[in-house]
Chains A and B, each alone.
Chain A
């Protein structure tokens, strides 16, 4: 199977060619992504029916081998699709940005490494590609709108630390079990405490990639300074694909977490906490990209929650949710990027009323936002529904299942709330005067977003007949009947009903007086007020939440970085550093000084004895002679 080599080598090879020969960059990149897509489709088709697995080389007892099962084929396919969409979008949005040339190289490198991660059949081999992703992420974050190096430093620190932990976890696993190759004949049970440690350490790497609490903090930080396409590409899509892939691998193919309830609970708690707290953080953001970044983190919670249940329907739901999230979150990032491309701002205060000016972007944004909020009939609803079902089914094993269910559902409500705020403050409301000349974004930028939005609709309406049947269930190796009853929900029927409802609504709208709103001028103190001053912007939609004392405190802590793993890590390191430099190093240095003093004193003593007078020396010779005599005698 040479396809595996091609999907790994082709992007970086042609990406490098494009980097070197700048004039032909677009052509080379096109070749790179199309080739990768072609071979990814071949791998996808091949892995539907068979498992590809072979050794390349072995050294010091570690096999470097490739392994592709149906899950890997699925992820590889979507890696390629998203890379090509983002590349298309970037052609316009990134043009004439500083370090544009390097940006494309990083995109290609990321794609290569991502494919490598998914197709490698050995944990250490996987770790190599996982490490390359750190480099490419670091480079990509440096291609910023403004001064972005602190965000890049934060990202590389968090991801780097989690990679070290993952390395240790993998090594402990290697030493304890002696085998790192996929597929294992039987999954490993947690018979040894070190195996639990190993799982948790690898999990740290996975969660940092997936971006859940507490390893998520670089994403909102980066959202302030990097372009939308970078956000859509790395934390928005590829990181989710890879994180989910490895989470599945370690939780069900290598270890079996259903055999150890505490770990399952840990996963579910991490998932729930992520959902609720990150949605709450998103609610009060005033910057579109930052809000979306918090939202990305929050959605990752659903995936972890779903995988944590260990129930087939929830796992399938989690995979479906991951795919859906990648679709609509990329669409949202790209649409908000289009808005930014035209208006040059992501500040919600400065935006408003753009729906008329950018109808296509409005469409993609609203579809994606509704899908994200889990409004039927879009895809987000369906996958969340499956996760809820899984949690309910889990009720037989643990009796606090309803807490997780409430968290998941409440998170969904919060998601709808912040999405309404987003839609309102960008596309509805009064338009600031400066934005009157805004036009629809460029063709190349609208098309990817449109494609993704249509995907959201299609995956929602035909959820059972298309994605679940052909993509999700085969990738997990489940049969249609195996995952149990998917409730009484029929998306196609529901869509028809919703469409009927909308038609009735339109009729009512046309018949009623809604068509003719009453317009009056605003008077303040007897003066006609400027329309611009009376404009109501969106960001303060939910600021009343802030008046609840407990929540306000929490927000203040959150914005101040009290929940930031990075700050604690640096604080602890700084503590050790102060201890090392100002205490330990000083003490050692003073010990040396003491030795030096003593040596000096001895020197001074001997110099006192060497007075330069003949009598003293004669006296010493005499004494020495006596000493020798005494030694010889006795």
Chain B
């Protein structure tokens, strides 16, 4: 029997709420900034596709259904990346689509093996997991959640995509892999310590390398891309170590990272529109351009780094607890990755917002778009409020809303 079933649990609800919220913000940002006449319809169509498939994967009960939504998401990202129709955009779109599609095909083979072994696609019915199937599915997951070495598509995609959909890509579409991992492996019946430990180490190394590259690149969006790679490493680490803290930490981390990264995407979009630059060496002293944007980006960056009043702190803490519970070496790895996060984020922020002799620096910029700044501020405030009143979401996630 193949049924397309959805189910609702507290993780699903929490994540879908975050996804829909980010989608709403993207919609506002897109309406305010996207003045292009040409194919605007496609713009909103793809945006909604990404949001819808994200919510669908978070709530689906069935592997085949997940696969279909997964492909819808890949398709939408492909169209969105190639939205501007330049040569570079089209080739970035093709790269995105080919890599994701190839990996998803391998994943589909894995799903078929599971179906043959278990006779069902339903998550609760899967009791026997073949090692080969696990590895094939893992390839699909790691590609979607951009883990090194399957990250190659992300930086070109970020550089090509319109900011509004880019925020959805960063906040929603990339998390699908981690969600599938959570549903199928962490909460499932697959028991192979070697597999989980390997995934944890891959995640840590990917996180460190991503952070290292982010410390070196100068294009704003490439930096965001490698930052995403580095942050999703934490999510994968959390789900790979599992346990109460691991699962809670991973879900919280998805939420924290999604909010912060999409906020940074809007901020970078505003900066690019206002200054016409995409290289952070060419811009400085932006705190004078818009102090509100500066403060909101400081909060978003703080959330990614993981300082307390932001939700990023609590998610990082729970991930580290989960990791140390498994072995303390995972914890050390996570902290090294976190130090890289700190370094590249402070560099990013200081290069943009401060600079040598700001009092005499000539800022060549247009007025930043109000809507963009407002959207970044809203996301920053949500991160802050979730961080201060962390008790409610954490309580909800641990007890299932009871």
Contact = CB atoms under 8 A, between A and B. Distances in A.
A197 interface: yes
Interface string A554-584: 0000000000000001100110111111101
A120 to B, nearest CB: 12
Nearest to B153: A592
B170 interface: no
A134 B307 contact: yes
A570 B343 contact: yes
A432 interface: no
A265 interface: no
A573 B321 contact: no
B210 to A, nearest CB: 8
Contacts of B320: 167-168, 171
A15 B209 CA distance: 42
A478 B356 CA distance: 53
A332 to B, nearest CB: 30
B328 A172 contact: yes
Interface residues of A, number: 47
Contacts of A150: 350
B316 to A, nearest CB: 8
Contacts of B43: none
A171 B241 CA distance: 15
B32 interface: no
Interface stretch (A157-165, A281-289, A347-355): A157-165
Contacts of B152: 588-589, 592
Interface in B279-329: 302, 305, 307-309, 313, 316-318, 320-321, 324-325, 328
A59 interface: yes
Nearest to B150: A588
Given A60-B398, A576-B208, A172 B346 contact: no
A149 B308 contact: no
A59 B342 contact: no
B216 interface: yes
Interface string A576-619: 11111110110011011000000000000000000000000000
Interface in B221-250: 244-245, 248
Given A168-B331, A581-B217, A588-B149, A160 B305 contact: yes
Interface string A126-142: 01111110110000000
A36 B354 CA distance: 35
Given A171-B320, A175-B324, A149 B354 contact: yes
B213 interface: yes
Given A175-B321, A576-B212, A156 B394 contact: no
Nearest to B392: A59
B65 interface: no
B215 A574 contact: yes
B254 interface: no
B308 A157 contact: no
B339 interface: yes
Interface string B148-186: 110110000000000000000000000000000000000
A237 to B, nearest CB: 22
Contact of A584 (B209, B211, B321, B343): B209
Contacts of B339: 161, 164, 569, 573
A174 interface: yes
A393 B350 CA distance: 50
B318 A60 contact: yes
Contacts of B325: 175
B229 to A, nearest CB: 10
B313 A128 contact: yes
A188 B208 CA distance: 33
A157 B331 contact: no
Given A147-B356, A161-B339, A577-B216, A156 B318 contact: no
Given A135-B307, A570-B343, A588-B148, A581 B216 contact: yes
B262 to A, nearest CB: 22
A147 B309 contact: no
Contacts of A132: 307-309
Interface in B120-159: 148-149, 151-152
Which interface residue of B148, B245, B328, B332 has the most chain A CB atoms within 10 A?
Answer: B328
A156 B340 contact: no
A597 B70 CA distance: 28
Contacts of B316: 167
Contact of A168 (B209, B332, B356): B332
A588 B147 CA distance: 12
Contact of A580 (B212, B308, B313, B358): B212
A573 B215 CA distance: 8
B121 to A, nearest CB: 30
Nearest to A156: B346
Given A167-B320, A588-B149, A128 B208 contact: no
A429 B265 CA distance: 59
Nearest to B299: A135
A145 interface: no
Contacts of B362: none
A171 B321 CA distance: 6
Contacts of B313: 128, 131
B328 A194 contact: yes
B346 A581 contact: no
A139 to B, nearest CB: 9
B309 A157 contact: no
Contacts of B189: none
Nearest to A98: B359
A167 B335 contact: yes
B101 to A, nearest CB: 13
A574 B213 CA distance: 9
B377 interface: no
A150 B346 CA distance: 10
B250 to A, nearest CB: 14
A574 B356 CA distance: 22
Given A164-B338, A167-B317, A147 B358 contact: yes
B212 A577 contact: yes
Nearest to A591: B149
Nearest to A175: B324
A573 B343 contact: yes
Nearest to B305: A160
B364 interface: no
Nearest to A576: B212
A433 to B, nearest CB: 30
Nearest to A578: B216
Which interface residue of A161, A574, A576, A582 has the most chain B CB atoms within 10 A?
Answer: A576
Given A60-B318, A135-B307, A172-B324, A149 B350 contact: yes
B34 interface: no
A57 B248 CA distance: 18
Contacts of A589: 152
Contact of A174 (B321, B346, B357, B394): B321
26 contacts: A60-B248, A128-B313, A129-B308, A130-B308, A132-B308, A147-B354, A149-B350, A161-B339, A164-B342, A167-B320, A168-B320, A168-B331, A172-B324, A172-B328, A172-B331, A174-B324, A175-B321, A175-B328, A194-B328, A569-B343, A574-B215, A580-B208, A580-B211, A581-B213, A588-B148, A592-B152
Interface of A: 57, 59-60, 124, 127-132, 134-135, 147, 149-150, 153, 156-157, 160-161, 164-165, 167-168, 171-172, 174-175, 194, 197, 569-570, 573-574, 576-582, 584-585, 588-589, 591-592
3 tightest Cβ-Cβ pairs between the two chains A and B: A580-B212, A131-B308, A149-B354
Interface of B: 148-149, 151-152, 208-213, 215-217, 244-245, 248, 302, 305, 307-309, 313, 316-318, 320-321, 324-325, 328, 331-332, 335, 338-340, 342-343, 346, 350, 354-358, 391, 394-395, 398
